[in-house]
A = this chain, B = another copy of it.
Amino acid sequence: MNKNKKALAILMRARMRPNFNDPAKLSLFPLSSNPKDNQFAGNAMQPASDRGNRMANDLGNTESAFEVVRESMHAAMSMNKTEVLDDVLNNFSEGYFSLSHENRRKLLLVLAREYDLNRAQVRELIKQYLGLELPSVSGEKAKVSGYEEEGLFSSFYRIERNLRHALQPVYEVLFERLNTHPGGLRFLSILRADILSILAEENFVSLRALDSYLKGKLSTWLSPAALELHQITWDDPASLLEKIVAYEAVHPISNLLDLKRRLGVGRRCFGYLHPAIPGEPLIFIEVALLKNVAQTIQEVLWDSPPITENEATCALFYSISSTQPGLSGINLGKFLIKRVITLVKREMPHISTFATLSPIPGFMQWILSKLASQTKFSEADMSQKPAEGCSSTFWENLLRPEEEKTLLSLPKDVATGKDGMEVMFNLLTSTDYKWTKSPELLSVLKPPLMRLCARYLLQEKKRGKALDSVANFHLQNGAMIERLNWMADRSEKGLSQSAGIMVNYVYRLEHIEEYAHSYFSTGDIHASCDLRHSVEP
């Protein structure tokens, strides 16, 4: 214990973001980070520090550096002897980390294109397969249906097996070998983070195929069966606790006392650990035990517990952070939440409500771009047809008449604009969130902000899923949207992301699977009556 405390104290004094034990290894971070669909828990990932990047660039941006790593990559796939292989894999991963951004990109494209599958072999097998005559068996399904037919199908089984094998790209070997190599799984996760950041800039079909293949492999290796649910406590090693400090994405941990509180009475913290990435949870969730579902983050970030654990009836998930940007799109959280609920329920049967108090990371961006574009449409319309309102099919007044009226009746020294939307835009973008300091402005802005936030969460979609990444995360896990909370997070981050609004998602044990399924298949979003009413026209 004392050892842990001391280590932590040193860590905290030094900096909040640890160097992962060795400052020279800063380049172990992925190139860039925070791929968009990993944002459900806020900004979990920080980019590699400038210093780390500069180091990498100095050493790794030459053509010869690239060729060395390219050769070790080739060796890693083509060599046979396992002992040497360990060295080769180490060379390759160390070499990779030393490469500049540009050289990493080049290397990954080489991997995607030149270590693809053998199409000639696939064609050959395919022709053999088509040459097989389907035995005219009982069913029309071309399946074995009795002992006497077993023999007829042996060629099918053989070629199907070979075809499965031939359809594996050559880079499959590299992935498999890295997976069984110490540190390899973590390396693969960093490799994928880099791939995602390249694909975010430019769409390479070959690299996208590689990414989808690698994602499939990672999903298998990180299957819930291989993950261990671990309750993180103050008794855990400092080396693990520093990861919590570093990766806590939703409500940053400010000091040693704060971290200890997050693990103390009235709270729980659970993480998923994978044996191959020891001492570093892939994802972790923080829980507060409460009497009621909290409406503001202040109710959760207490200094001393407001109630005893026995009085709690609600387990509130107030923070979920993933630590690996390279695992983006692999939903580790789903099983985590489900398992944590089961665990808490078993330990504390008196807890009947499982809810979150969640950020709405995309709301302000959405509403500001909506307001800005409507204002533009409105201007365009005005110049053409000054009379009879706005008739463009794209134009939509986001505000209700009474909201428009109140906004336009504000004194001119407080807010200006030719219509309610422009006034609102100007208020929301004023420096230092001035609007949040005036009771009058708060009361004017609350109705349209709350209503539009509900609309954003319940109705705005992208490819059939909720536009907001955190909403999408909880909805696909089977939650429903319960309640919006006004001025629930007055921090700089809370105001800039969602005008201070936070949302409670609720997991109803008896509906989790039904809701997850309907959201998955039809995009249906379940919400409380109040919220549904608030967005009705």
Contact = CB atoms under 8 A, between A and B. Distances in A.
Contact of A167 (B127, B147, B164): B164
Interface string A109-140: 00011101101101100110110001000000
A81 B120 CA distance: 41
Contacts of A276: 225-226
Contacts of A117: 160
A144 B223 contact: no
A167 B150 CA distance: 19
A275 B180 contact: no
A156 interface: yes
A80 B517 contact: yes
A195 interface: no
A151 B74 CA distance: 25
A163 interface: yes
Interface stretch (A201-209, A386-394, A408-416): A201-209
7 contacts: A80-B521, A81-B514, A119-B141, A122-B160, A157-B208, A161-B209, A179-B225
Interface string A150-183: 1101101100110110010000000000011000
Interface residues on A, range: 35 or more
Q: How often does this chain occur in the complex, in copies? A: 2
A377 interface: no
Contacts of A151: 205
Nearest to A182: B225
A228 interface: yes
A384 interface: no
Interface in A178-223: 179-180, 184-185, 204-206, 208-209, 212, 220-221, 223
Nearest to A80: B517
Nearest to A208: B157
A335 interface: yes
Interface of A: 80-85, 112-114, 116-117, 119-120, 122-123, 126-127, 129-130, 134, 141-145, 147, 150-151, 153-154, 156-157, 160-161, 163-164, 167, 179-180, 184-185, 204-206, 208-209, 212, 220-221, 223-228, 274-276, 335, 512-514, 516-517, 521
Nearest to A142: B119
A122 B147 CA distance: 24
A513 to B, nearest CB: 3
B209 A150 contact: no
Contacts of A156: 119
Which of A117, A119, A130, A204 is the most central at the interface, judged by chain B CB atoms within 10 Å of its CB? A119
The 4 tightest CB contacts between A and B, nearest first, are A83-B513, A225-B276, A226-B226, A157-B209
Contacts of A212: 161
A141 B114 CA distance: 9
Contacts of A204: 147, 150
Given A129-B126, A156-B119, A225 B134 contact: no
Given A119-B142, A144-B116, A517-B80, A226 B274 contact: yes
A150 B223 contact: no
Contact of A223 (B81, B142, B221): B221
A144 B112 CA distance: 9
